[in-house]
């Protein structure tokens, strides 16, 4: 196997082409979330940035580029997986009303039992 060293302008042009090819592959992905992944070339490797909804898609972004651009390509996968903070939370008036209802029920039971029954 022969190793070729590329320097100067030719290396810069090659890395620019690699970056454009990586962006094109991600934009053409059948996975919608991967179309929004950012990438750049830094220190001779592709760096993936942004957020994706799952660890599966984080891995798929990397696999896609390896498969389409060459297995010897170095990729720094800095994608972040979105956290599950989408569950509805009880806040404000609804939270206070829910708590107030429980407190009211507790007071009613204590009142019905009468003083000194505790």
Q: What share of the chain is helix, strand, coil (3-state, %, to 5)?
A: 55, 15, 35
Q: How far is CA 19 from CA 62, 93, 102, in A?
A: 14, 51, 59
Gap between the Cα atoms of 52 and 83, Å rounded: 10
Architecture of domain 8-81: 2-Layer Sandwich (3.30)
Measured in degrees and rounded to the nearest 5, phi and psi for residue 39 equal -145, 150
Write out the H or E segment, with its range, that includes residue 47. strand 45-49
Q: What is the pLDDT of residue 59?
A: 97
Measured in degrees and rounded to the nearest 5, phi and psi for residue 54 equal -150, 160
Nearest CA among 44, 42, 37, 38 for reference residue 7:
44
**Which two tokens mark 90?**
């009880």
How many residues are recorded in the chain? 118
Contact 47, 39 (CB under 8 A): yes
* pLDDT tens digits, 43-55: 889 999 999 999 9
Contact 46, 75 (CB under 8 A): yes
* pLDDT tens digits, 35-90: 999 999 998 899 999 999 999 999 999 999 999 888 778 999 999 999 876 444 55
Per-residue pLDDT band at 112 (split at 50, 70, 90): low
Gap between the Cα atoms of 62 and 17, Å rounded: 18
């Amino acid at each position: 196997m022969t190793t070729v060293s590329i320097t100067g302008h030719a290396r810069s042009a090659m890395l620019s082409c690699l970056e454009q090819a990586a962006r094109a592959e991600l934009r053409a992905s059948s996975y919608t979330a991967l179309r929004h992944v950012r990438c750049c070339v830094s220190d001779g490797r592709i760096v993936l940035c942004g957020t994706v909804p799952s660890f599966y898609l984080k891995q798929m972004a990397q696999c896609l580029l390896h498969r389409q651009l060459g297995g010897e390509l170095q990729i720094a996968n800095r994608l972040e997986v979105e956290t599950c903070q989408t569950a509805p939370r009880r806040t404000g008036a609804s939270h206070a009303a829910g708590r107030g209802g429980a407190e009211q029920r507790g007071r009613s039971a204590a009142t019905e039992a009468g003083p000194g029954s505790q």
